[in-house]
Structure 1
Amino acid sequence: MPKFIVGARLHDYGKGTPDELFAKVSADGFAAVQLAYKKCVPTVKSYADVTDALVADTIAAEKAHSIQVAVLGTYVELAINDESRLQNAADFKSQLAVCKALGAGCIGTETTAMSKQPAGTTREEAQELLCRSLAEILPTAEELGVTVGIEPVTLHSMNSPAATRHILDTMRSPNLKVIFDMSNLVNAENVHDQARIWNDMGELLGEEIVAVHFKGQAFDAEGGLLHTSLEESRTDYAGAFAMLRQLPQATLPVLREEAVPARAASDIAFMKGFFFMTDIQRKTLVVDEGGTGDYRTLTDAVAACADTPNEPVRFYLKHGIYEERPFIELADYIIEGEYRNATVLTASVGGRDPWPGESKTGTFRSETLFLGGGRAVVRNLTVQNNAGDGAKAGQALAVYADASRVLMEDVNLYGNQDTLFTAPLPLKEREEHGFRGPRENTPRLDTVQYYKNCTIRGNIDFIFGGANAVFDRCRIEPWHHATGTCYITAPSTPAGKPGYLFVNCTVQGSAAPGSVYLGRPWRADAACYWLDCVLSDEVCTDGWDNWRDPENEKTARFGEYGSTGPGSAAQRAFGSVDNDTEANAQREMLARVRAEFGVE
């Protein structure tokens, strides 16, 4: 199953500079865009206005806001039956280098509405003209390594999966792919035949799809098109995604078209509701160390899924002590224990332990449980790393949480230094080989993580990383250790991302009074917020530590609101306290994440 990346059409956010527009879509929770310069950048009146400087500004905005340009849109008429077609093809061809520079997933266009054609033009003639235009474009695309995406639309020259397959077979280019707009293949006449459309799309074009468009539409009594909200749409999204989930692509951007920014949170939650199969549709594998289940270890059960990594699966662990280090890279999986305190995954690997051929294991190879892949759900069990005090063992992860979406409910996470790592890693390590591990040389992909009713125990930076993560009604236990001082969090939040939110949590462990900091910034843009939490006297008055760099106090986004208990304070060393505007923004983020994970 592909990892679906939710995005938006950039010009639905109005006009502005790339940085202004990327900031808006990023703030609303989108991770990818369809960019059409002529539709959203005021200075671009023609493709000649797409200058090197503008492209450089766009690349900078991509990096600053962690936004991927999934589709570079051109909106040119490549199948029009008049003298403008050659210029349109030339305009499209001129943007191939731009697509390459941006690292865009593809450069795309529709294929000309038949209503725009001169009278008497047949669909077959229009398709022939499309092929002529593509013949002008594709050699350069192949030379540059750029993917060209064409989009079938019922009212256009390329109007069906079969017609699209014909075009691809005619051109025979490995760089010619398909943009799949679900609604554009549905009209009033075939609205009741969508299952066949999705089947044809999957069989004829499934592996050619490079992007998906997601919008709402219905039809009036005369069959006319009506633009609707997603909830009111007649498009069978569930059927389409049943097909899309079976595809082998590693990732697929899913782009909201006709977006209304005020509805972004609800739209994203609606869209993501189709990304994964329901629990009823997944197989269950029983793990029992005593031998009564399907497998004796979770590691063996995971290995049994190696040939079907896209098939949703549930691992049910009978109570017991499982001394193992499962490494999971599956598309959609659940790990569920029989009893929270009596179903235990445990290991004792520390960062200072030796590693074959190297001086030490390092932080990011020490984990008891690695959660990779698409969607990981963990419920009702304990994961621990018993390597011991960090002063001797070094960093020792209980969990390396790297899946695109991570949900943990009723889970105990026990460790000392670096108990829970919430991926992604920062862009660059501070010491050579400091990121040795499974994601050292891979792109830094955003993750969203939600922890509910969990207990997390440790002492130094025991919740750390770059995720957008919510800790809801969790118990945070700072644990006494050799050097005395505890740091609960060490976020490395990318600039502009939400970071950590602790809401309705309790801090109560075994540390000495005044020895615990709420957090310190692992990177300059670190973000962490505590909302309506109960803080024990273990929390010191300063609240936050700047990690020996006063400059971090200017950039770290730290704050709290509504704290109670003896560890609360009216003012901290830095960061905000009881700012209504910030608290309301955090509540909005909480609502978005809860909606995304379908929890109350």
Structure 2
Amino acid sequence: MYSVEMKRPTTGELFRAINDAGFSQVQFDFSSVCDEQMPLRFEPNLIQEIKTQSERNKVEIVAVNGTFNMIHPSTQERENGNKWFASVAEASRELGCEFVTLCTGSRNTKSMWAWHEDNQEFKAWEDILTSTDKVLEQAERYDLILGIECEPNNCVNSPERARQLLDTFRTPRLKIIMDIANLFQKGQAQKENVRPIMDNAFNLLGNDIYLAHGKDIKEGGNLIPTYAGDGIVDFEYFLEKLDQVDYTGGMLLHGIHDESFFSESVAFINDVIDKHKRTP
């Protein structure tokens, strides 16, 4: 699961709640225990407390969020983002987590997750290359792997763009987070499109997947993400495709913005996994 989707006042309570909800792995965001997502400095003993509570409650931290707007139109903002990222990269290594997530960003100055028409301009691509080069320096320094995913509102908004970025750098330190719900462009979220869209993504990116996200999407003309089991994503087919590329990691549920839906989503995905295991 994604730690920001569960709110608790202390680190210990957070990890106990994650375990109680049936999760054994987490994508961790420092804003769950700090005032900021990417602090430049951490409170004394905080990293050790996170690690202790993770181990005590048998919840593995398999990813840490290191997202900042990698194509923000302001050079100063991008430089600030690199400083924040360096801090989180060091903290991730101290936590024993080798995987840090990225956001390829948007020219939208209000939100890195919001669309802007300039995202597909050549200058934006130049900026994502520069930003990626800089975060890869930190990945090398702290022996990390960095994850990008297709986001319809970001610079890398399709499997083709993700493939282009991977092929530009050709490094084992840059991998894919496969989130099927994020593969749809506006107007594409229809049941008949699910498998063809998934096939295309796996053909281009399947061998570079490091982490699978279990988010869903509502059917319709707009892009409305939701929790697993509440949309049109064919999770059984998703598992088949993951098997074909020898993926052995977990399925991190994402898009659960109301804790009352945790049990439903966990039960759904466990049922899909059980059926998949029984399939010859």
Q: Same fold (TM over 0.5)?
A: yes
Distance 1:67 1:120, change over 3 A: closer
Q: Relative to 1, partners in 2 of residues 1:68 and 1:259: Cα closer, same or farther, differing over 3 Å?
A: farther
Query: Does residue 216 of the first structure (1) align with residue 237 of the second (2)?
Result: no
1:47 matched residue in structure 2: 39
CA–CA separation in structure 2 for the residues paired with 1:216 and 1:131: 30
* Per-residue deviation, 1:277: 5.5
Contact 2:211/2:250 (CA < 8 Å) preserved in 1?
yes
Whether the 8 Å contact between 2:116 and 2:153 is mirrored in structure 1 is no
**Out of 70, 74, 78, which is 1:82 matched to?**
74
What's 1:162 paired with? 160
Match of 2:265 in 1: 267
**Alpha-carbon distance in 2 for matches of 1:239, 1:124:** 35
Cα contact 1:114–1:155 (8 A) shared by 2: no
Distance 1:180 1:43, change over 3 A: same
Could you tell me whether the CA contact under 8 Å between 1:34 and 1:255 is conserved in 2? no
> Of the candidates 64, 75, 91, which is equivalent to residue 72 of structure 1?
64
Give me the whole-angstrom Cα distance separating, in 1, the residues matched to 2:106 and 2:236: 27
Higher relative contact order (CA 8 A, sep 6+): 2
Distance 1:233 1:45, change over 3 A: closer
Q: Which residue is equivalent to 2:252?
A: 254
Q: Once structures 1 and 2 are overlaid, which stretch shifts more, 228-237 or 198-207? A: 228-237
**Secondary structure of residue in 2 paired with 1:251:** coil
Q: 1:40-82 CA distances to partner (integer Å, 9 max, x unpaired)?
A: 2244475124345111110101111011111101331112222
Do structure 1's residue 60 and structure 2's residue 52 form an aligned pair? yes
> Are the equivalent residues in 2 in contact too, given 1:188–1:219 (CA < 8 A)?
no
Rounded to whole Å, the distance in 2 between the matches of 1:279 and 1:67 is 23
Q: Which residue of 1 aligns with 2:112?
A: none
1:262-341 matches, within 5 Å, as 262-275=260-273, 278=276, 281-282=279-280
* Amino acid of the structure 2 residue aligned with 1:27: D
CA 1:120–1:72 in 2, change beyond 3 Å: closer, same or farther? closer
* 2:176 paired residue number: 178
Matched, 1:111 2:109: no
* Contact 1:9 1:34 (C-alpha < 8 Å) held by counterparts: yes
Q: 1:50 to 1:180 in 2, by over 3 A?
A: farther
| Counterpart check, 1:20 vs 2:13 | yes
CA deviation profile, 1:423-448 (whole Å, cap 9, x unmatched): xxxxxxxxxxxxxxxxxxxxxxxxxx
**Cα shift at 1:259:** 4.7
| 8 Å contact from structure 1 (residues 28, 261) kept in 2 | no
Separation in structure 1 between the aligned mates of residue 225 and residue 129 of structure 2, nearest angstrom: 31
Q: Any conservation in 2 of the 1:81–1:118 contact (CA below 8 Å)?
A: no
Note closer, same or farther for the CA distance 1:114–1:154 as it changes in structure 2 (3 Å cut).
farther
Question: 2:176·2:209 contact (CA, 8 Å) conserved in 1?
Answer: yes
Distance 1:96 1:228 in 2: 29
In the alignment, is the contact (CA less than 8 A) between 2:227 and 2:256 conserved in 1? no
Aligned partner of 1:459 in structure 2 is: none
- TM-score w.r.t. structure 1 length? 0.42
**Cα distance in structure 1, aligned partners of 2:229 and 2:93:** 36
Given the alignment, which residue of 30, 34, 40 partners 1:37? 30
Question: Contact 1:111–1:150 (CA<8 Å) still a contact in 2?
Answer: yes
Q: Which amino acid aligns with 2:69?
A: E
SS in 1 for 2:19: helix
Paired letter, 2:166: L
- Residue type at the aligned position of 2:215: K
Is 1:92 equivalent to 2:118 in the alignment? no
Change (3 A) 1:45 1:238: closer
Compared CA separation, residues 149 and 196, structure 1 to 2 (3 A): same
SS of the equivalent of 2:232 reads coil
Q: How far 1:253 sits from its partner (Å)?
A: 4.1
Unaligned runs of 5+ in 2: 110-114
| Aligned pairs, number | 272
Q: Which amino acid aligns with 1:269?
A: A
Structure 1 unaligned spans of 5+:
1-7, 283-600
Displacement of 1:272? 2.3
Distance 1:225 1:172 in 2: 31
Pick from 11, 19, 25 the counterpart of residue 4 of structure 2. 11
Alignment of 1:345-356 (within 5 A): none
SS at match of 2:218: strand
Contact 1:79 1:133 in 2 (8 A): yes
Q: Counting strand residues as a fraction of each chain, which structure ranks higher?
A: 1
CA distance in 1, matches of 2:278, 2:93: 43
In 2, are the aligned partners of 1:70 and 1:104 still within 8 Å (CA)? Answer: yes
Deviations 1:329-348 (A, max 9, x none): xxxxxxxxxxxxxxxxxxxx
* Cα contact 1:154–1:184 (8 A) shared by 2: yes
Instruction: Provide the C-alpha distance between the structure 2 equivalents of 1:49 and 1:279, rounded to a whole number of angstroms.
Output: 44
Normalised TM-score (structure 2): 0.86
* Aligned mates of 1:279, 1:10 — CA distance in 2: 27
Larger relative helix fraction:
2
Q: CA RMSD in A?
A: 2.5
Counterpart of 1:36, as a letter, is D
Q: Quick check: 1:111–1:130 contact (8 Å CA) kept in 2? A: yes
Q: Closer, same or farther in 2 for the Cα pair 1:245/1:52, shift >3 Å?
A: farther
Deviations 1:145-178 (A, max 9, x none): 1111111112211011121111011112211111
Cα deviation, residue 15, structure 1: 4.3
Deviation at 1:281, TM superposition (A): 4.8
For 2:116 and 2:187, locate their aligned partners in 1 and report how far apart those are by CA, in whole Å.
Answer: 25
